[in-house]
C-alpha cells in the first residue's frame, strides 16, 4: 500500500507521483466517473442520468438523488477502471466534487472518493464543480490558451469570469436571481413541457415563429456585466396567461413563446459576453455548463466572436452537462501541483469559485 492517506507528506512528492486520476461527480442528479491520464488524456468516462427517476416529480428530489448515487457509484467505478485498462494500483489519486451542489449528493461522492483513496493509499482532493465546467474545454484537442473570458451557464449558475490560469479567477458578473438554466426550466414548466424542461423548450423553440413575440432583454441597457432573468420569467408567464385568456394555449402558441424566450436569453448572453471581452481586451471566450449545449447560443456566440476577430471554445455536448471527466481533469491540475486534502470529509453546498487558490 502506498504511503499517503492524507498524512504529512511533501506536496512536491505528491505532485510528481500523480499521473492517473479517478474523478467522481455527484453534485446533483447525474453520477459521473472518469479516469484521466497525464500522458494519454481522458482514458474512459461513464455517466448515469437520473432523469427517469425524477421525471414524475417534475424536478430533482434530493433524497432520491443521494440514494441513487449510492447505488450507481461502485458499478460505474468498476466499469470505468475496466474500460480505461486500469487496476486499482494504477490510480495515483482520487478527485471528487466537493461543492457546490446538493449536500446529500455531495456527501455520497465525497465519502466514496475519500474511502477509495484511503483504501488504495493515494491522495484525494475535493474539486469545485464550476471549476470543472470551466476547465472542461481543456479535454478537447483544440483548447484555449490563458487568459480568456468564461461564460459559465447552467441550471444553478450564470457567471462571467476572467480566467488568467487554473485557480486565478476574477468574477466579472453573475445572475442576481435565477440562473439562465433555471429560467429555461421554469419557462418550460409554464408551457407544460415536462421534465427536464430546458432541453425540451430549446427543441420546441426551433418550431416557433420568431416574429410573433418580442420579449425583453433584461439589464442590457444598464452598465455592468450582471444578469437578471426573473423579469423575463414574469413576462413569459404573462404571455402564457394572455394566450389562455384569449382561448386555448395551442401548440403553436407554446412554440412561439419558447422561441421568443430563447431568443431573449441568447441575445442577453451574447451582449454581455461581448461587453466582457471588450472590457478585458480579450478575444478568447469559453462557454461551459449545461446551457452551453444550446445550439442557438453556440451559433450566436460563434457569429459574434467572428465579428470581433476572436474565437469561442466549448466542450463537446456530452461534457456540457455534469460529468466525471471534468472533475478528473480539474483534480489532476491541482493534484499535480501538490495539493491534496486531509482525511476529513468536507463538502461545500455553497462555494464561491473566487475563494479557490491559484495553481502555478
List binding-site positions for Fe cation: 129, 133, 322
| Binding-site residue set for substrate | 152-156, 185, 198, 294
Give me 25's grid cell.
461527480
Picking from 235, 124, 232, the residue whose alpha carbon sits closest to that of residue 182 is 232
Whether residue 150 contacts residue 161, with contact meaning beta carbons closer than 8 Å, is answered with: yes
- Residue 148: helix, strand or coil by DSSP? strand
| Residues of the binding site | 129, 133, 152-156, 185, 198, 294, 322
At residue 100's C-alpha, the angle toward residues 71 and 138, to 5°, is 90
SS3 258: helix
The Cα-based distances of 151 to 23, 186, 190, 232, 287 in angstroms read 23, 21, 26, 20, 5
CA 35/CA 85 separation, integer angstroms: 10
CA distance linking residue 219 with residue 119, whole number of Å: 52
The answer, yes or no, to whether the previous bond of 26 is cis (omega within 30 of 0) is no
Counting every residue written for the chain, the total comes to: 360
* Cis-peptide, bond into residue 196, ω within 30° of zero: yes
Q: Which ranges in 206-359 belong to alpha helices (H)?
A: 230-245, 251-280, 295-308, 324-336
How far is it, in rounded angstroms, from Cα 313 to Cα 307?
15
Amino acid at each position: 500500500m502506498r504511503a499517503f492517506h492524507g498524512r504529512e507528506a511533501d506536496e512536491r512528492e505528491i505532485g510528481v507521483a500523480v499521473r492517473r486520476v479517478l474523478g467522481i461527480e455527484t453534485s446533483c442528479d447525474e453520477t459521473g466517473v472518469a479516469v484521466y491520464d497525464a500522458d494519454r488524456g481522458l482514458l474512459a468516462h461513464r455517466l448515469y442520468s437520473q432523469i427517469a427517476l425524477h421525471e414524475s416529480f417534475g424536478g430533482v428530489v434530493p433524497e432520491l438523488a443521494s440514494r441513487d448515487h449510492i447505488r450507481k457509484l461502485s458499478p460505474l467505478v468498476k466499469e470505468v477502471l475496466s474500460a480505461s485498462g486500469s487496476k486499482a494500483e494504477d490510480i495515483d489519486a482520487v478527485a471528487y466534487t466537493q461543492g457546490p451542489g446538493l449536500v446529500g449528493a455531495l456527501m455520497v461522492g465525497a465519502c466514496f472518493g475519500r474511502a477509495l483513496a484511503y483504501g488504495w493509499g493515494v491522495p484525494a482532493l475535493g474539486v469545485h464543480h464550476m471549476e470543472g465546467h470551466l476547465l472542461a474545454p481543456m479535454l478537447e484537442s483544440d483548447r484555449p490558451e490563458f487568459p480568456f473570458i468564461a461564460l459559465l451557464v447552467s441550471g444553478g449558475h450564470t457567471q462571467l469570469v476572467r480566467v488568467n490560469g487554473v485557480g486565478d479567477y476574477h468574477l466579472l458578473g453573475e445572475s442576481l436571481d435565477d440562473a439562465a438554466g433555471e429560467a429555461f426550466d421554469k419557462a418550460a414548466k409554464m408551457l407544460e413541457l415536462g421534465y427536464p424542461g430546458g432541453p425540451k423548450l430549446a427543441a420546441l423553440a426551433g418550431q416557433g415563429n420568431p416574429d410573433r413575440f418580442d420579449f425583453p432583454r433584461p439589464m442590457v441597457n444598464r452598465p455592468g456585466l450582471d444578469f437578471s432573468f426573473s423579469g423575463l420569467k414574469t413576462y413569459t408567464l404573462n404571455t402564457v396567461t394572455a394566450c389562455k385568456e384569449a382561448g386555448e394555449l395551442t401548440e403553436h402558441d407554446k412554440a412561439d413563446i419558447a422561441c421568443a424566450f430563447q431568443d431573449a436569453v441568447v441575445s442577453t448572453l451574447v451582449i454581455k459576453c461581448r461587453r466582457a471581452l471588450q472590457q478585458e481586451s480579450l478575444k478568447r471566450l469559453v462557454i461551459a455548463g449545461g446551457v452551453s449545449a444550446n445550439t442557438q447560443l453556440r451559433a450566436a456566440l460563434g457569429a459574434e466572436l467572428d465579428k470581433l476577430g476572436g474565437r469561442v471554445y466549448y466542450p463537446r455536448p456530452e461534457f456540457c452537462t455534469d460529468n466525471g471527466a471534468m472533475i478528473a481533469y480539474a483534480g489532476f491540475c491541482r493534484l499535480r501541483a501538490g495539493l491534496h486534502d486531509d482525511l476529513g470529509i468536507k463538502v461545500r453546498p455553497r462555494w464561491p469559485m473566487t475563494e479557490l487558490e491559484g495553481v502555478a
